[in-house]
Structures are given as structure tokens and as C-alpha cells.
Amino acid sequence: MSGPRLFLIAGEASGDGLGAALMAGMRQLAPETAFAGVGGPAMQAEGLASLFPMEELSVMGLAEVLPRYFDLKRRIAEVAAAVIAAKPDALIGIDSPDFCLRVAALVRQADPGQRIMHYVAPSVWAWRPGRAAKMARHVDHVLALLPFEPPYMQAAGMTCDFVGHPVVAEPLATPEQAAAFRAAHGIAADAPLVLALPGSRRGEVTRLAPRFDESLMRLRDRVPEMRVVLPTVRGVSAMVRAMAARWPVAPVVVERPEDKRAAFAAADLALAASGTVSLELAANATPMVIAYDMAWATRMLLERMVRLDTVTLVNLVSETRAVPEFLGTRCRPDLIAPALVRLADDGGGREEQMAAMALTMDRLGRGGEPPGLRAARSVLAHL
């Protein structure tokens, strides 16, 4: 008997990782599953023959999308046509909602009976509440990464399962690897180690680096023996190294994934941009301060639309406000530095943060079935 036929679409590295884990889970539960669609190296390693290189879809922001508009529009039509021709048991878009939901709309228009799923709920709980209702016109079922998301999706008319967040399945460095990292970079075992994480996009680093720099200089005045590690990615590595160059004691800049894992495990404290990185820090039980700002026009728009008093995922999942955050006009060194000092002094809610981080990881599925397997179980249940 042949297994289910799934058409998967991923547009970014994070979606590629989710897709690969889902494919592995499907092979475990339904070994005869056949896959088609668009994906990156991780999904291709699981056996997907991608229609075209996934990197063509990995663009973000209006300034980046506009020059590529007609190329992307052509790819949307091409992928939709491939789905309509294949008539899979399910079309599953993985994150990248701007691309995947446009494909879903064309497919639904051509074939109203096609089952359509989406992996990663859009952030309707924070802003754009109408987005879930719009999505429900084209999507039957949602796989959610966060435990509080299903009610929002269900209220809009879709079925939704919480399947766990991939952060709970990511490998962590051992204490021995953390100690080896310190030794390799000449950082004493008892020296306070601070992570600086000003984002992974050029715009973020340009905006945040000077403020992170000044905040950490102020912390160094209070804790002169501290060392700083800057984990970064290839696209912004040169900018991050330039930021590091003016320090009296040069920060350690690391790019390799194994070095980043070891740095997260070795750190005592972190100053980070808002985003999934807060969950990576929580997985390593590293107390943090979150700081973020955006372009003036974007900030004005979001301040009108955001409906929550926090955007930090650790705060949202744990239902606490244990992680201090400095957003928008409050993203200032004179506010950020005292919060760092309080955490470094072992006060200022360090224990409260530890409890919130542990609760967050438990609620995201730590210790349970891997998220990819849970996602596969959810897909099979809704076919």
C-alpha cells in the first residue's frame, strides 16, 4: 500500500530544519510517505528533490523584496501549478507565510478540496489579529510551535495542534565543552562571561551594535574582569568584528555552530536582540536582558498594532515578566546597563529568570517526544 503524498514548501533555513524533522518523523510513522516541493539542504538530505534552490525565497524586508517582486511572483505561480498538478494528500507550507500563504490561496482557488496545512502559526497573538481569519480561507490545519497559539488559530476556524518547539531538540554543549571553550580563548574559569547577540540581519546589527557596545562598556566599568563573546553569522560577521575592534580587551567573535553552542553553555549572562535567541538562552539557563529597536516608521506602526506588554518568548511562554526588555525608545544604554549590572550582581531577579526559563523549556516540550515526530503525528491525524 502506498503512503501519503506530501508537498512541502520551506523558504528559509529555520523552515528547512523544521521540514527535515517533519520528514524524518513521517518516515518513522509512515515509511512509504512520498515528498515533493521546495526545501534546502536539510530537507534534501531527507530525500526531497527541490523544484528550485530554496535560497531564491530567502529574502526579507520591503527593500529586499521589491527588486525580486516579479521573480517571486513567478515562483509562487510555478509552485502553485506544481501542487495543482500533483494533487498531494496535503500541501504543507513551512513558515515563510508571505510566500506559502500566497501559494495556498492560488491552490485553494483552483482546487477547493485540496487539504492545506501550515507549520508555524503567524504571530497573531501579538499583532494583526485579522491575519488568522484571512489565513483560514486557505488553510485547514496549523502546526504551532508555542503552547498558547492553538486557541487563536481555532477561533479563526482552523484546527491546530501544539507540536513543540525545535529548540528543545537542539544539542547543548556539555560542561566539559564549555570549560574547553573558556580555556581555548584564555578566559579564566571564574571570569564573568557575557554574550552579546545584536541580531543576524545587517539592519539589526547596524541599529543595535552601538547601543550594545555602550551598554557593555558601562557594565565593564562595574565588572572590569568580565569577558565578552560575540556569536555571529557569516552575513554580518564583518560588521560584528568592526564593532569588536574598539574594545580595550577584544571580545571573542565566533561563527562555527559548535563554538556558539559552547559559548552559550559557558556564559553567565547575555544581552540579546529580541527573537528566538531568547529560547536558545533559556535552553542553556543563561540569564538575559533583551533590547531591540527598529526603523522609526516601523516602530510607529508596531506601537499602534502590538497588543502585548512583552515580546520576549520566555516571558510569554512562562506567563511571567522575568526577563527585562528594552524596546523602541527604551532601547538605551542608560536603561540597559543597570539591568545587566543587577543580573551580574546575582540580584535583580536572577533566580526568577532561572525558574521562568526552566518552565519555558518544559512547556515547549523538553523531555517529551521530538517536535518533528509530534508534527508528523499531527499531519497523519488530520489527513
> Which tens digit of pLDDT belongs to each residue from 335-364?
999 999 999 887 668 899 999 999 999 999
Q: Kindly report the pTM of this predicted structure.
A: 0.85
- Segment 360-376 shows an average pLDDT of 95
CA 382 to chain centre: 26
Cβ contacts of residue 247 below 8 Å, gap of 6+? 228
Task: State how far the Cα of 281 lies from the Cα of 276, in Å rounded to an integer.
Answer: 9
DSSP 170: S
- State whether residue 246 is helix, strand or coil: coil
Cβ contacts of residue 381 below 8 Å, gap of 6+? 161
Provide the pLDDT for residue 254: 92
267: its cell numbers: 556564559
Ordered DSSP codes for 70-86: HHHHHHHHHHHHHHHHH
265: its cell numbers: 553553555
> Which tens digit of pLDDT belongs to each residue from 2-58?
799 999 999 888 899 999 999 999 999 999 999 999 999 999 999 999 999 888 886
Which of the four pLDDT bands, split at 50, 70 and 90, describes residue 147? Answer: very high
- Segment 159-184 shows an average pLDDT of 96
Domains of the chain are: 5-164+367-381 (3.40.50.11930), 175-363 (3.40.50.2000)
Task: State how far the Cα of 228 lies from the Cα of 244, in Å rounded to an integer.
Answer: 9
Query: Residues 357, 277: contact at Cβ < 8 Å?
Result: no
Query: Residues 244, 251: contact at Cβ < 8 Å?
Result: yes
Beta strands in the chain (DSSP E): 5-10, 34-38, 90-94, 116-119, 141-144, 159-162, 193-197, 227-231, 252-254, 269-272, 288-292, 325-327
> Which tens digit of pLDDT belongs to each residue from 23-35?
999 999 999 999 9
Cβ contacts of residue 273 below 8 Å, gap of 6+? 197, 198, 199, 204, 208, 290, 291, 292
The residues facing 119 across adjacent strands are 94, 143
Task: State how far the Cα of 268 lies from the Cα of 286, in Å rounded to an integer.
Answer: 6
- State whether residue 364 is helix, strand or coil: coil
66: its cell numbers: 521589491
| N- to C-terminal Cα separation, the chain | 16
DSSP 236: G
Q: Using only C-alpha atoms, what is the Rg of the chain?
A: 22
Task: State how far the Cα of 269 lies from the Cα of 246, in Å rounded to an integer.
Answer: 21
Distances (CA, A) of 345 to 266, 271, 351, 363: 18, 15, 12, 29
Which carries the bigger pLDDT value, residue 143 or residue 350?
143
- Segment 364-378 shows an average pLDDT of 95
The mean of the pLDDT values for the chain is 89
- Segment 200-205 shows an average pLDDT of 79
Which of the four pLDDT bands, split at 50, 70 and 90, describes residue 164? Answer: very high
> Which tens digit of pLDDT belongs to each residue from 259-308?
999 999 999 999 999 888 999 999 999 999 999 987 766 656 566 656 56
Provide the pLDDT for residue 61: 46
